[in-house]
Structure 1
Amino acid sequence: MKLDTNDLKDLAVGAAFLGTGGGGDPYVGRLMVQQCLDEGLEVELIDPSEVPDEALVIPTAMMGAPTVLVEKLPSGDEAVASLKRLESHLGQRAFATMPIEIGGINSTIPLVVGARLGLPIVDADGMGRAFPELQMETFGVYGVPGSPMVVSDEDGDQALILAKDNKDMEWLSRGVAIRMGGCAYIAEYSMTGADVKRTAIPNTLTLAMRIGRTLREAKKRHLNPFEALLELLPQTLYHHGRIIFSGKIADMQRETRNGFSMGRARIDGLGEHAGVMEIEIQNENLIARVDGVVKAIVPDLICVMDSETAEPITTENLRYGQRVTVMAVAVPEIMRTPEALAIFGPSCFGLDHPFTPIETMPR
């Protein structure tokens, strides 16, 4: 499947939704891919089933604080350089690249890499959303080592990281990214096609496009875009969704700390939703409480959307006074196993509430 401009617009919207607030502004990534298309380059998606079992796949991404990305825009060559350096270290050429996460700009960085290097992009990822730390991958949960990895910046600086485990890889590379200005571009979790089929969440790029298209077409036909999206989700691996709150952002606290965007949003209820919602943020939305009662919790998605346009809002773009609707969505079952929750469940973020699936949460 070769992507065009309309696909990119839908992908950016859908990826912002699936990113649950994180992953960086997808608008920046869309412009980078559009530049590739304008230059006559092709962006080709392939299904995981099309990857030979023995083929080498090298995922590529941005890492760092999304708030930094707003002011420190990439040139588009950084992740390309990381992949090429990792190929050199491994002594093997990549058959394809793929996202490590479907959220935000990291849905599009591999598209740029694929277009620049003439590689297909596997329609799958390792998070099914966005997470703030690199060990929080289904790849790693199910046995794929994240390193060796390469970190690159816009000045041509690079670091090759060989770590004893995936958590150590995250710690080392985070320090490098901080010294590169707060965000950098990486190649990691090199794996075989067989590993992709075993550990990745399939077809998330095309799902993001379906989400964007569903919202766009509903608005064009003057239908309720939230209802249209809720009708779509049961047809996917993200099998359940519900609106858990709507209101006005009354307070937004945000800071960049230890390479992450940390914060808290307070939303005062409007209409049928009384009370106050608070959302805790570490790059992504982690937990949503209404008057102290948990309504959704990581790894399930907590998506903040503009109440008028139904456009997803990334955490760095949340502002006082915005009218928002908050939707919670169930993640695929591969992300809810005990092994997965040990890597990216609530306790991994210091939250004292156990994971409770959104479909069993009290309304």
Structure 2
Amino acid sequence: MSWLLTEDHLADLARGAAVLGTGGGGDPYVGRLLVRAAIREHGPVTVLDPSEVDDDSLVIPTAQMGAPTVVFEKIPAGTEAVTALRALEARLGRRAAATMPIECGGINSMIPLVVGARTGLPVVDADGMGRAFPELHMETFGVYGVPGSPMAIAGERGETTVIDTGTDNRRMEWLARGVTIRLGGVAHIAEYAMSGSEVKRTAIPRTLTLAHTVGKAIREARSNHEDPIAHLGSVLGDTLYGHMRVLFRGKISDVERRTEAGFARGRAGAVSFDGGHKLEVLFQNENLVALVDDEVRCVVPDLVCVLDSERAEPITTETLRYGQRVTVIGISTPDLMRTPEALATFGPAAFGLPYEFRPVEEINA
């Protein structure tokens, strides 16, 4: 069922999106402020259930791309994604009936809401990652036959460019990354234009609703003096993300982080509170794998999420720091993201990791 998103939803939505973003997807607080400003100026946003999208409607997803470490310091104006949308509409010769997230994590759950508020377009309650991934071809849209091209890119000064690589989504990502670097490390995009019927076939459904549910569950558990992490696990059990496991509890002992080739890459180490176990998390914008005592406990595409141990607030890769007391959880992804075709695109090997994918609920039975 479709619903109307107002300013009152934003705190819970941003918190839940940061959890599902697995440490990446851009700063959700910045995204929250952008949406709040747009709603105050233009009014609330209609969040459209994917089942209610007309099969022949044109849906154009919008997003931000770049290194989260850059986004953290270079705040968008809020108009860039609309500029990208209009540029792609001009290329296609057709106006969009709706926009949609490409991922449900971090700031990129928010950018389409900014577009929706500023243009009056509804935002489809679905996305193409079911989490956040660092590269544009890592989409269920592309896995199941929707080309990302043509795509439009907009910069902060109103620059636009259109990239068309046909069905080669990997080359689209490579070219777009180069443009984004030359725009200062962050840009806004419109891509994977598709029909309503393709949305229903290729997207992970109702992930905006899920993000709001996750954020609300954490907040309400704290208010009721319950364990917010345990409550989060019970809430996820009734969704497509049916399994949550606590992987590690301890203190961050070191962080290595660098911005290169348009990505934030690095690792974080932690020591358990009793000093007997060690954690290592590797990330490329998003957390990719959690190793406890050198054993894989959770690996992409399943979600590795770092939470503050007391409040269960999600911690992004660009805000990890020495001394934080954390609980690291693993969350299972929907079946659509675990097929052989999907794993070939965004499984461990796609990131150069020397591990086989095993479901988090199987590793931590």
TM range (shorter): over 0.9
Q: Residue type of the partner of 1:166?
A: N
Task: Provide, for residues 41-74 of structure 1, a one-character-per-residue CA deviation record: whole Å limited to 9, x for no partner.
Answer: 2211010011100000000000010000011110
TM-score relative to the length of structure 2: 0.98
Counterpart among 199, 202, 212 of residue 215 in structure 2: 212
Deviation at 1:6, TM superposition (A): 2.4
Which of 124, 127, 145 is 1:125 aligned to?
Answer: 127
Conservation of the 8 A alpha-carbon contact between 2:129 and 2:204: yes
1:28 alignment counterpart: 30
1:190 and 2:206 aligned? no
Structure 1: unaligned runs, 5 residues or longer: none
Q: Of 90, 101, 107, which aligns to 1:99?
A: 101
Greater mean alpha carbon deviation, residues 274-283 or residues 195-204: 274-283
Secondary structure of 1:39 counterpart: helix
Candidates 240, 246, 255, aligned match of 2:258? 255
The residue that corresponds to 1:2 in the other structure is: 4
CA distance in 1, matches of 2:227, 2:74: 36
Secondary structure class of the residue paired with 1:185: strand
Work out whether 1:239 is the aligned partner of 2:242: yes
CA contact (8 A) 2:304 2:329 kept: yes
Using the alignment, how far apart are the partners of 1:274 and 1:62 within structure 2?
41
1:310 partner SS? coil
Deviates further, 2-11 or 90-99? 2-11
Quick one: which amino acid aligns to residue 15 of structure 2?
V
Aligned residues of 2:7 and 2:44 also touching (Cα < 8 A): no
Instruction: State how 1:318-333 maps to structure 2 within 5 Å.
Output: 318-333=320-335
SS for the counterpart of 2:269 is strand
Q: After superposing the two structures, state which structure 1 stretch, 4-13 or 199-208, moved more.
A: 4-13
Structure 2 counterpart of 1:311? 313
Q: Render the CA deviation track for 1:90-119: whole Å, top value 9, x for unaligned.
A: 010100000000010000000000111110
Residue of structure 1 in register with 2:355 after alignment: 353
Distance apart, 1:270 and its partner CA: 1.0
Give CA deviations for 1:135-189 in whole Å, capped at 9, x if unaligned: 0000000000000000111111111001141000000000000000011000000
Change (3 A) 1:46 1:275: same
Query: Could you tell which deviates more after superposition, 210-219 or 39-48?
Result: 39-48
* Paired residues for 1:134-149 under 5 Å: 134-149=136-151
| Runs of 4+ displaced beyond 4 Å | none
CA distance in 2, matches of 1:233, 1:325: 17
Residue 40 (structure 1) shift: 4.0
- 1:14 and 1:362 mapped to 2: Cα distance? 23
Structure 1 residue 209: deviation in Å? 0.3
Could you tell me the percent identity over the aligned residues? 60
In structure 2, what is the Cα distance between the partners aligned to 1:294 and 1:202? Answer: 29
- State the Cα distance separating 1:28 from its structure 2 match: 0.3
What number of residue pairs does the alignment pair up?
362
> Displacement of 1:362 after TM fit?
4.1
Amino acid at match of 1:212: G
| Correspondence 1:283-302 to 2 at 5 A | 283-302=285-304
SS of equivalent to 1:2: strand
Shift of 1:4: 1.8
- Mark the runs of 5 or more structure 2 residues left unpaired by the alignment: none
Task: Identify the residue that residue 345 of structure 2 maps to in structure 1.
Answer: 343
Amino acid at match of 1:249: I
Query: Does the alignment pair 1:228 with 2:257?
Result: no
Instruction: Tell me, in whole angstroms, the C-alpha distance in 2 between the residues paired with 1:290 and 1:219.
Output: 28
Once the two structures are TM-superposed, the CA of residue 199 in structure 1 deviates from its matched residue by: 0.1
